[in-house]
Amino acid sequence: MSFGLSPLEFRESIRSGKHTGNTSGYCPGYVQGNVVILPRDWASEFLQFCQFNPKPCPLVGMSDVGNPLLPTLGAGLDIRTDLPRYRLFNDGLVTEELPDITDYWRDDLVTFVLGCSFSFEEALTADGLEVRNVIEGVNVPMYRTNIPCRSAGRFSGNMVVSMRPFLAADAIRAIQISTRFPSVHGAPVHFGDPSLIGVEDINSPNFGDSVTIEEGEIPVFWACGVTPQVALEQAKPPFCITHSPGCMLMTDIPNSQLAIF
Amino acid sequence: MSFGLSPLEFRESIRSGKHTGNTSGYCPGYVQGNVVILPRDWASEFLQFCQFNPKPCPLVGMSDVGNPLLPTLGAGLDIRTDLPRYRLFNDGLVTEELPDITDYWRDDLVTFVLGCSFSFEEALTADGLEVRNVIEGVNVPMYRTNIPCRSAGRFSGNMVVSMRPFLAADAIRAIQISTRFPSVHGAPVHFGDPSLIGVEDINSPNFGDSVTIEEGEIPVFWACGVTPQVALEQAKPPFCITHSPGCMLMTDIPNSQLAIF
């Protein structure tokens, strides 16, 4: 078990091959990140895409060109070895899953780290709210919407959203709490009637698992970190690396540092 | 016309009998308040009721016993003369409406000033949101709910709410903005299905006027300053004075000073 480790110890346990699975529930209180690694000639357009679409693509860190270290995110953090599992993309398609990308590192690669909803889910739970996907032990349900992202060069696409059901009073509290965390998707983008954002069947998510929606509860939708992945699949850069779903980058940044007030 | 006056000038125009009508739209940018004046032997229970129920009864000021001046709310502010219209209550019933209460002032009276939704409506409008009752030029619709207030001595009753309809994305923004203003009712207490808070017919408000709810819009409910008035009617103090609806106390406090961040 790797529970109780510091983020540094947890990354070392991943680097040494001891921890190989997903990262949910580890190092509570610390920011975990989505990772996108792109060649330099795609990086500036992707950066612009993130700047244009901060709710689905909230940047919490970015490396120098060719540098695999991200010292502002973690002591000794080496992006080539510190994720449990990576996905290699060629022309927008996953061609390989692997636990180490040292052999694929290149001098022109740029790493982007995007905030992840684990941070605000922790804040919701700490406030006494019931986060259904956490309670039911499943992945959060995610849906493709008809909400267009603002295009940047070759990157475009519609927003993907995650959904958590709440009673209205709890939804209001969840809006207040997640508003404090703009670096991890911030406030919801929609609630209520799913069809208004192009979601036809709330019980059939496009990604993740479906969760129970109780009588009187309202589905609340947040911009989701799968959005950039969909944009990548559409843009089809010849080469690209991401984390595997659920196998996030563990940083040394306390979640509370992302709170803006 | 009294538009363009400072709060001090506006109060002088009321005091001299020049301005006699309601105060909506005057001195934009300044806090207007609900007023409740009670004898000392009822005041501490009413203060406790406000403390127990800060969303419907947000206290922005309180006088010393017997002192008609409220210098922290306005230069030279005299509560006996500075409202356009007052209501006298005897045993919970309105017995008189009048423009000056100097003849009724007593050494045991305590004045309470409670925040009013004009302040957050101004912030919503400034942010580009359409406040339906403002657009339609009517009073905001208000409803009795089944949400109980916490009782304090002889004061009790259910919460009264005001309703403003918004599309979901605008409702989220409205929640964020009104959260910044806890002294003027703060965040909503409910949205969506009115029956969940005991409101049977959204088109038949108990106070104020009904407003249009467009396709796709969600009714959003805020705690309302009529709540203390209902509690007063039920508690039936032998003597009590309030403002007349719409004829609020104009203060020297900028709305922005009520924002907590």
CB under 8 Å to B140, separation ≥6 — which residues? Answer: B117, B133, B162, B163, B164, B208, B209, B211
For chain A, the domains span 7-117+235-258, 120-228
Q: What is the CATH number of domain A120-228?
A: 3.30.2040.10
- What's residue B1's pLDDT? 46
Q: What is the mean pLDDT of residues A113-140?
A: 92
Over 50: is that where the pLDDT of A120 sits? yes
- What's residue A50's pLDDT? 95
Provide the β-strand partners of residue A148: A158
pTM (two decimals)? 0.86
As for the ipTM of the complex, it is: 0.80
Nearest-Cα distance to chain A for B225, in Å, is 19
**Closest chain A CA to residue B176:** A176
- What's residue A245's pLDDT? 85
Of A172, A218, A261, the CB nearest to B261: A261
**A176-219, pLDDT tens digit by residue?**
999 999 989 999 999 999 999 999 999 999 999 999 999 999 99
Chain-centre distance for alpha carbon B149: 16
Q: Band the pLDDT of A259: cuts 50, 70, 90.
A: confident
**A67-87, pLDDT tens digit by residue?**
999 999 999 999 999 999 999
Of B168, B176, B261, the CB nearest to A191: B168
CB under 8 Å to A54, separation ≥6 — which residues? Answer: A182, A186
State whether the Cα torsion B229-B230-B233-B236 is positive or negative: negative
State the CB neighbour count (10 A cutoff) for residue B214: 10
Q: Is B235 helix (H, G, I), strand (E, B) or coil?
A: helix
Q: What is the mean pLDDT of residues A11-21?
A: 95
**Which of B173, B175, B181, B220 to mutate to test binding with chain A, by most A CBs within 10 Å of its CB?**
B175
Provide the β-strand partners of residue A90: A93
Of B169, B190, B261, the CB nearest to A189: B169
Over 50: is that where the pLDDT of A254 sits? yes
Decide if A55 contacts A253 (C-beta within 8 A).
no
Decide if A37 contacts A108 (C-beta within 8 A).
no
Provide the β-strand partners of residue A152: A155
CB contact under 8 A, B176 and A171: no
- What's residue A25's pLDDT? 84
**Which of A191, A214, A261 to mutate to test binding with chain B, by most B CBs within 10 Å of its CB?**
A191
Nearest-Cα distance to chain A for B147, in Å, is 12
Q: Band the pLDDT of A260: cuts 50, 70, 90.
A: confident
The DSSP call for residue B45 is H
Element (H, E) at B29: none
Nearest-Cα distance to chain B for A150, in Å, is 17
Decide if B232 contacts B81 (C-beta within 8 A).
no
Nearest-Cα distance to chain A for B18, in Å, is 43
**A134-186, pLDDT tens digit by residue?**
999 898 999 999 999 999 999 999 999 999 999 999 999 999 999 999 989 99
Fold of A7-117+235-258: PSTPO5379-like (3.40.1640)
Phi, psi at A129, each rounded to 5°: -80, 150
Q: Is B173 helix (H, G, I), strand (E, B) or coil?
A: helix
Domain A7-117+235-258 and domain A120-228 have a common topology: no
- What's residue A1's pLDDT? 46
- Residue B159: name the closest of B196, B184, B189 by CA: B189
Decide if A221 contacts A197 (C-beta within 8 A).
yes
Of A179, A191, A193, the CB nearest to B176: A179
Q: What is the CATH number of domain B7-117+229-258?
A: 3.40.1640.10
CB contact under 8 A, A191 and B175: no
Mean pLDDT for chain A overall? 94
In terms of residues, how long is chain A?
261
Q: What is the CATH number of domain B120-226?
A: 3.30.2040.10
Residues of A in contact with B163 (CB under 8 A): none
Residues of B in contact with A189 (CB under 8 A): 169, 172
State the CB neighbour count (10 A cutoff) for residue B97: 11
Residues of chain B with pLDDT below 50 are 1
Decide if A78 contacts A223 (C-beta within 8 A).
no
Provide the β-strand partners of residue A231: none
Query: What are the angstrom distances between the C-alpha of B140 and each of B87, B208, B209?
Result: 20, 6, 6
Over 80: is that where the pLDDT of A3 sits? no
Provide the β-strand partners of residue B38: B110
